[in-house]
Every structure is written in structure tokens, then in C-alpha cells.
Amino acid sequence: MPRVQHSATAAEPHLMERLRSMVWGPAEFVGLPPLRLTAKGILAGCLAAVAIIGSTVAGAWYGITGLAAGEGGLVCAALLVLYLCGVRAGRALVGAVAVLAVGLALQTPQAAAGFVLAERGRPESVVVVSVEGASADAPGSGRYLCSVLDRDGVPMKLRIWRGCEQTTRPGDAITVVYDVEGRVPPRGAEGGGSALDALSGLDGWLAGLVFACVVAVVRSHRLSAPDRGHGPSP
């Protein structure tokens, strides 16, 4: 009986090590991480980010509904997760990468629309017919929504919030930017930023994704092939 208890006690550190390796990755190196793995992590993160953002921008530019809505970006995020599972990265780090990649894919459609409007949008003045949302007669920081007449004098189905302020009243004129190709919905004009400025809101997601990919790939390093068992030697 004491021998059985001693055997179980001796197995506990090995079990905990395997559990830690599964959750966070084995990270079997001493000192600084291997440069090769760091480069692979940066490459994986950058390629995934470019694919997610690029596919969504292309969808908005050419009017491909699925891509413009971020569906292509979600597919790219799934492929990145499959790659990390293939290199046997820690499950917790794979989960973190998945959250960041999906978050980037969901945030990109609005930025992509802004990119298209900054590149080929045409500003036009429209007339406000009503203001809704936060109380237009009380101070506050709530968002205001303006219903407007389009350039042909027809009420627009979309309500505008960019450029619609607390002081805006029915009959006022605000500026709306139209896509000359009609592939992106119009929106209220903002400060005259460049097309790249429209994507700047994704910087945090992009940096977080690349960093998480580097950590996941680096910590997946193994000095030898994973154990297949510990049977007795013949």
C-alpha cells in the first residue's frame, strides 16, 4: 500500500506539467525564445490580420456582401486558430487569439466602409427633417440620430449620427458622404481624414492579435516529439 501511495505522489508533478503544457504550451527553451519561432509568430499574426482586413475592404470596395460583412474575415480567423492547434499551441493562448481575431473581423466592416467613402466618397448637403435619440433639448453626451432627405428630396431609410449634434434642428443642413459606386451606405461626414485614418481604429485589435500569436507560437516550442506513452522498455 505505501508503494502505491508513493507512485501516485510521484506521478502528480508529471501530471501537472502535462496540464500546464496543454493549457499554456510547453515552452521548452531556456533564456530568450528562439528567433525562428518569434518570426513565425509575427508572420502568422500579420498574415491573418492582413487577410481579415484585406478581405473585408475588398468586399466593401467591390460590393461583395459576404466579404463586406466580415464573413471572409471570420473564415481567416478560423484558419489561424486551426494553424495554432496544428502547432499544438497552449489552449488558453489559442482561445485568446481566437477572441482577438474574431473581434478584429467584427470591427472591420465599419472601418472598411469608412475606407471606401474616404477614397471615393462624394460629400453632399442634405436637409434634416427630425432629430431623435438623446433629448435634443437637454445637455448630455448621448448619440443623436437625424432623419434626412437625400439629394433627390426623398427621405433616406438610414438615420445619420455623424454630424448630427445636440444643436441640430429640423430644417438644418448637414453633410453626408455618398459612395459614387453606390456599394457602401452613406454616412455623415467626419473630419477630413485619409482612407488609412478610417482603419486606424483597428490598431489595438491588430497589435493584440499579433502579440498573442507570437506568444502562442513561441510557447508551442518542444525540444522533442510529444510523448506517446511511457511503457516499460523491453
Residues 165, 159: contact at Cβ < 8 Å?
Answer: no
Q: pLDDT tens digits, the chain, 234 residues: what are they?
A: 455 444 445 456 667 777 777 888 887 776 778 899 999 999 999 999 999 999 999 999 999 999 999 999 999 999 999 999 999 999 999 999 999 999 999 999 999 999 999 999 999 999 999 998 754 444 445 789 999 998 788 899 889 998 898 899 999 999 999 999 999 999 998 766 788 889 999 999 999 999 999 999 999 887 654 444 444 443
How much of the chain is in helix, strand and coil states, percent to nearest 5? Answer: 55, 15, 35
Name the strands in the sheet holding 144-149, side by side, starting at the edge strand that comes first in the sequence. Answer: 144-149, 121-133, 173-179, 187-188
**In whole angstroms, what is the distance from residue 90 CA to residue 226 CA?**
13
pTM of the model: 0.82
Nearest to 206 by CA among 51, 84, 55, 95: 51
Nearest to 49 by CA among 225, 233, 202, 217: 202
Set of cell numbers at residue 226: 510529444
Helices and strands (H, E) in the chain, number of each type: 7, 4
25: left (phi over 0), alpha (psi -120 to 50) or beta: left
**In whole angstroms, what is the distance from residue 19 CA to residue 76 CA?**
29
